[in-house]
Amino acid sequence: MPLVKSEIQDDLRKLQRSLKRAPKHLRPDDVHKLRTRARRIVSLSDAHSLPSLDKANLAKPLKRIRKRAGRVRDMDVLTAHLAAMHSDEDPSCRTQLLEYLGAKRYRRADGLVQLLEDQGSRLRKRLRRVAKSVAKDTSRTSGKTARKAHSKQSAQVLELTAGLSEPPYLNKSNLHPYRLKVKELRDALRMAGGTRDSRFAGALSQCKDAIGEWHDWEELIAIAEKTLDHRPECPLLEELKGISGQKLDSALSIADKLRTDYARPQTGKVQRSRARSNKLKAKHASLPVAQIPERALKAVAGAVQ
């Protein structure tokens, strides 16, 4: 079933706590939680017809906070990757790169703190009002209206699932955009009531994380090539490229398995799934059910029941 009142209110309370703590203690974990929680509330606003969320106009300021927190988070992740490397062949380059990332993180964190000091208090008050109003909103959307909204969300999940088969071939140039599709589907599944421990949700998260980790190393390489004053055959840069290559192979393998399991039609089995899915797709989606593999239909149906 879709997200219930208690889950929505819990998300709102968690974001309030992040907005209160972040200006004083911008630790990597705090930044990550702030970014994730802000994105989740924006997703809730987009996916649910809740008057209190619409009236509060939270989307614009939260998107700004999410973006700035994301820029800080990027530096935290890259620093952690670099610090975890054990190569001592070129310590000067490694130290120089760590110092560069640290300085950039400090500047970005300072901008985030300033934004939170300017807007955090007002946002917390608005979030508290929204949390109190959610109960009324959810009660008004019960019955037929709630079933219609849930059906629409489930249909969106099925359509996005079928879209996992595109592009036909994944490679270095299109893998990161593909991650955005996987992330969108994972969020849509959650909005439709998909459980965190479902196999489908787990496969989506694994794919998203694997591609994201590869992309992090690519970003680290780009920064190193741009900022380091090193000789042409820099051992650190060569090591970074080697790690990135390994992460790319792993990400492609995981993404291909996801597509094989959930996005590629299986002749014969798909036809037996048509009858079970026609009602769901009839009103809210244009994609033919026959384009969706049976395993994907079962995964989505099991997750959103």
Got the DSSP string for the chain?
A: -PPPHHHHHHHHHHHHHHHHHTTT---HHHHHHHHHHHHHHHHHHHHS--HHHHHHT-HHHHHHHHHHHHHHHHHHHHHHHHHH----SSHHHHHHHHHHHHHHHHHHHHHHHHHHHHHHHHHHHHHHHHHHHHHHHHHHT-THHHHHHHHHHHHHHHHHHHGGG-SSS--TTTHHHHHHHHHHHHHHHHHTT--TTSHHHHHHHHHHHHHHHHHHHHHHHHHHHHH----SS-HHHHHHHHHHHHHHHHHHHHHHHHHHHHTS--TTHHHHHHHHHHHHHHHH--S-GGGS-HHHHHHHHHHH-
What integer pLDDT is reported at residue 145 of this predicted model? 59
- Do 111 and 242 lie in one domain? The reply is no
Q: Last residue of a domain, which of 97, 112, 142?
A: 142
- Do 269 and 121 lie in one domain? The reply is no
Question: How confident is the model over 146-204, as pLDDT tens digits?
Answer: 566 667 777 778 888 888 999 999 999 999 999 999 998 988 888 776 655 588 889 99
User: CA 176 to CA 183: how far, in whole Å?
Assistant: 11
- Do 126 and 241 lie in one domain? The reply is no
Q: Last residue of a domain, which of 125, 142, 159?
A: 142
Per the structure, the count of domains in the chain is 2
User: CA 208 to CA 168: how far, in whole Å?
Assistant: 18
Question: How confident is the model over 14-46, as pLDDT tens digits?
Answer: 898 888 876 767 899 999 999 999 988 887 766
The full length of the chain comes to 305
Two structure tokens written together for 85: 């490397």
- Please provide the average confidence, as pLDDT, over all residues in the chain: 79
- Do 256 and 204 lie in one domain? The reply is yes
- Do 180 and 91 lie in one domain? The reply is no
Pick from 210, 229, 251, 254: nearest CA to 95: 229
- Do 189 and 77 lie in one domain? The reply is no
- Do 29 and 85 lie in one domain? The reply is yes
What integer pLDDT is reported at residue 220 of this predicted model? 96
Which residue range is the domain that position 58 belongs to? Answer: 1-142
- Do 53 and 155 lie in one domain? The reply is no
State CA 5 to chain mean position distance.
22
